[in-house]
């Protein structure tokens, strides 16, 4: 498949009630392993890519390294690749669009794009984030590429008190609608694990909803029944693999 075909195939995998499952990767090696395991598409996690290069999350990883990592993945594996691009390394719409264009140019067919102010506090106002999404969409349209923008809100991830998540649902739905109107293709609500709240957002969203697996989250079959269109694993795979590596190394060194 060429890049346009990959982008179309990736979008088609997002079905409410029959979600695409993305086991997040962080380099070409993990991309090949997950592809060999039967994945239909690939997605990086920003935390994992940063950690694998010795950096903290939050755009501490140089953008040039992230782009080169994306290129190494698209060179190695012939599957659609979505890149977790955090805030696109720019607060300004045109800067964000120009940075996303660099990912598109190395073969990526989509991004996660969050509304958290990466270098500051809180979230961008709805219209400010919508303007950034519109700029990215316009850039991709200018390249005649059906680029997949997975518009992410950090409302739930930023609130550690799960009992307060119900009070955030209305704003989340408002953000999802604004992001869809601006050109988003998916709506990502990491941190949300309450089944009733997930179902409410899925019912209200015109976009396929992405849930991130974490402790306490419903299983894949349950999420499908709730109407979820995409399931991802975030930093979980990286943490699991690193723990296994440490355990194996500790066994070896304890035997020396």
Residue 211: helix, strand or coil by DSSP? strand
Q: Report, in this order, helix, strand and coil percent for the chain, each rounded to 5.
A: 50, 15, 35
Q: Which run of H or E residues covers position 43?
A: strand 42-43
Domains and CATH numbers, the chain: 3-255 (3.20.20.60)
Q: Which of 72, 71, 23 is nearest to 48 (CA)?
A: 23
Q: Residue 93: its pLDDT value, please?
A: 98
Residue 26 has pLDDT above 80, yes or no: yes
Residue 256 has pLDDT above 90, yes or no: no
Rounded distance between C-alpha atoms, residue 45 and residue 37, angstroms: 18
Residue 214 has pLDDT above 80, yes or no: yes
**Does the reported pTM lie above 0.95?**
yes
Q: Which of 154, 146, 150 is nearest to 189 (CA)?
A: 154
Strands 42-43 and 81-84: parallel
Q: Residue 254: its pLDDT value, please?
A: 87
Residue 255 has pLDDT above 80, yes or no: no
Burial class of residue 195, CB neighbours in 10 A (0-12, 13-18, 19+): middle
pLDDT in tens, 241-254: 999 999 999 999 98
Residue 207 has pLDDT above 70, yes or no: yes
Residue 121 has pLDDT above 80, yes or no: yes
pLDDT in tens, 39-78: 999 999 999 999 999 999 999 999 999 999 999 999 999 9
Q: Residue 75: its pLDDT value, please?
A: 98
What phi and psi, each to the nearest 5 degrees, are found at residue 120?
Answer: -145, -145
**What average pLDDT does the structure give for the chain?**
97
């Amino acid at each position: 498949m060429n890049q346009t075909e990959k982008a179309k195939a990736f979008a088609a995998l997002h079905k409410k009630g029959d979600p695409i499952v993305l086991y997040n990767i962080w380099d070409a090696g993990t991309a090949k392993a997950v592809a060999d395991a039967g994945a239909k598409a690939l997605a990086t996690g920003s935390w994992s890519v940063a950690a694998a290069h010795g950096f903290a999350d939050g755009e501490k990883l140089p953008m040039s390294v992230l782009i080169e990592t994306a290129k190494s993945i698209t060179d190695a594996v012939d599957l659609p690749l979505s890149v977790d691009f955090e805030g696109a390394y720019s607060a300004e719409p045109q800067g964000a669009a120009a940075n996303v264009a660099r990912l598109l140019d190395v073969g990526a067919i989509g991004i996660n794009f969050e509304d958290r102010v990466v270098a500051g506090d809180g979230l961008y106002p709805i219209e400010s984030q919508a303007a950034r999404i519109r700029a990215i969409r316009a850039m991709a349209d200018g390249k005649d590429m059906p680029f997949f923008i997975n518009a992410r809100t950090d409302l739930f991830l930023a609130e550690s008190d799960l009992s307060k998540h119900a009070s955030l649902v209305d704003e989340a739905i408002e953000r999802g609608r604004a992001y869809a109107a601006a050109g988003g293709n998916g709506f990502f609500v990491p941190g949300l694990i309450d089944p009733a709240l997930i179902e409410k957002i899925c019912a209200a969203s015109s976009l396929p909803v992405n849930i991130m697996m974490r402790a306490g989250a419903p299983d894949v079959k349950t999420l499908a029944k709730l109407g979820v269109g995409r399931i991802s694993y975030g930093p979980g795979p990286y943490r699991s693999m690193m723990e296994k590596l440490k355990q194996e190394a500790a066994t070896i060194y304890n035997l020396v």
